[in-house]
């Protein structure tokens, strides 16, 4: 099973969207993969506009809570993805390692629903591309990601 970790600062928006899309679509496609998300400084509760935008496309994340990243999360993951959230390696509570990649997504915080939908759709497309990559690698996906 391929294990993917999505990281942002507060774990209230982009990383939660990515986790929700990834797990739902991996299951629908029969791909042996699982994702979770965490924040470098997790606080509060999920962005309600993000929750609404996800509900509009049939992915419920309303019951999720922000989670603080631990080194275990990074060590356990086969792929580590940040959301372009300005993770400062000097202030990050964990070592992200060389397997981390950044998706360069805008922060939905404080944005109107139209902007959050645009960000949601970008997250959706990136998750689909990642799942396509995992499916194409087949049983060697974990090994390829661990390099």
The residue with greater pLDDT, 26 or 44, is: 26
Please identify which residue in the block is written with the tokens 């299951």. Answer: 27
Instruction: Answer yes or no: 85 catalytic.
Output: yes
- Among candidate residues 2, 5, 7, 8, the one labeled active-site is 8
Domain boundaries, the chain: 2-135
Tens of pLDDT, residue by residue over 125-139, are: 999 999 999 999 998
Q: Using one digit for the tens of pLDDT, what is the confidence trace for 60-75?
A: 999 999 999 999 998 8
Q: Is 122 a catalytic residue?
A: no
Query: Which residue of the set 64, 67, 68, 92 is catalytic?
Result: 92
2-135 CATH? 3.40.50.2300
pTM over the 0.85 mark:
yes
Closest to 38 (Cα-Cα) out of 66, 78, 71, 3: 66
Tens digit of pLDDT for each residue in 65-116?
Answer: 999 999 999 889 999 999 876 555 555 656 666 567 889 999 999 999 999 9
- Residue pointed to by tokens 């404080």: 110
8 is catalytic: yes
Q: What is the DSSP letter of 33?
A: E
Q: Of 53, 85, 116, 119, which residue is the catalytic one? A: 85
Whole-angstrom distance, CA of residue 57 vs CA of residue 117: 10
Euclidean distance between CA atoms 125 and 73, whole angstroms: 24
Q: Tell me, what's the pLDDT at 58? A: 98
């Amino acid at each position: 099973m391929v294990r993917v970790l999505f990281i942002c600062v507060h774990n209230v928006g982009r990383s939660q969207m990515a986790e929700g899309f990834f797990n739902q679509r991996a299951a629908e496609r029969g791909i042996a993969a699982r994702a979770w998300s965490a924040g470098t400084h997790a606080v509060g509760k999920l962005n309600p506009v993000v929750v609404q935008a996800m509900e509009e496309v049939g992915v419920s994340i309303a019951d999720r809570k922000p989670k603080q990243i631990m080194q275990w999360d990074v060590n356990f993951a086969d792929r580590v993805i940040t959301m372009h959230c300005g993770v400062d390696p000097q202030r990050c509570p964990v070592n992200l390692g060389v397997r981390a990649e950044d998706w360069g997504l805008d922060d939905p915080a404080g944005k109107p629903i139209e902007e959050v939908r645009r960000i949601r759709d970008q997250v959706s497309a990136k998750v689909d591309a990642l799942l396509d990559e995992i499916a194409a690698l087949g049983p060697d996906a974990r090994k390829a990601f661990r390099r």
